[in-house]
Amino acid sequence: MSALLIYKALHIFFMVAWFAGIFYLPRLFIYHTMTEEKACKAMLKIMERRLLYFVTPFAILTTVFGVLTIVEYGREWFKYNLWLHYKLVFVIILYIYHAYCFKLLADFKHDRNIRSTRFYRYYNEFPVFLLLPIILLAVLKPFF
């Protein structure tokens, strides 16, 4: 069993775990905007914080094992596989999305959310539009 295969497997595992949280967190934001009950809002604040802090290490480990995979393949491989460069653009956008979740979490924590339920419904769908090209590029490896 090679280190490369272990890195790839762990990269995929942590990516799946990360996406599970990234798909669910905005759903909690939607519920948060829909409720007026103080007890419910307090519970949602706890759930949102715990979920975001739970999946953030998965995001970090996704990067760690992705980088180790690239290192294992080598500099020349990275240089000539442009599909990976495009994939990394989508991944960077996903990390910006993840970071923005911390800002939204802080807004809810301090009861200063100004966004509508509709905004969070769109925000909830955005990672899907990042995941699709990431997977397509990784699997198809088109030659650009």
* Whole-number average pLDDT of the chain: 97
Number of domains present in the structure of the chain: 1
Residue type, 82: L
- Residue 36: domain span: 3-140
Q: Is 110 annotated as a binding residue?
A: no
pLDDT tens-digit map of 58-89: 999 999 999 999 999 999 999 999 999 999 99
Question: What is the distance between the alpha carbons of residues 8 and 69, in angstroms, rounded to a whole number?
Answer: 6
Q: Is 87 annotated as a binding residue?
A: yes
Residue 144 has pLDDT above 80, yes or no: no
Where residue 52 falls among pLDDT bands split at 50, 70, 90? very high
Residue 143 has pLDDT above 90, yes or no: no
Residue 30 has pLDDT above 90, yes or no: yes
Alpha carbon 103 to chain centroid, angstroms: 15
Question: What is the distance between the alpha carbons of residues 93 and 127, in angstroms, rounded to a whole number?
Answer: 9
